[in-house]
Structure 1
């Protein structure tokens, strides 16, 4: 896996685990939502500053976004569509 693919893989996995939409992550990180999508697809070169902002929004160290997933790791699932249920 190349670095852009690894970052995109981890970003999507962590974002979904946190229950954040691309829009919410982008808002928290101070970046554009479309940019988050391009990073997740591995089609965008990301700066260290942007990685730091996304990692901070996800409450993880930057290194977590750079860690290569296991060869047998399942592809990150998308976030469930629709509104969250009220408690």
Structure 2
């Protein structure tokens, strides 16, 4: 079919995006990115939920505060705070 034929089921390409189509696409992408980010945050929370108890167990087992800090990557001040909270 020749370009511009009214029997064509789709428009000729390239087609300029209309403002409403572009906005919809951006909204959909942001929504997808938001959902993915929220899922990532939930996964992070699931991993870190037991952090404080893990630090306390390690200290009770005789692991030094500095070693807990080095192995876990938790700031030394945070390790101190976690251990102080239980006292």
- The answer, yes or no, to whether TM exceeds 0.5 is no
Q: State which structure, 1 or 2, has the greater radius of gyration over its C-alpha atoms.
A: 2
- TM-score, normalised by the number of residues in structure 1: 0.31
Answer 1 or 2: which has greater helix percent: 2
Q: Which has the higher contact order (CA 8 A, sep 6+)?
A: 1
- TM-score, normalised by the number of residues in structure 2: 0.31
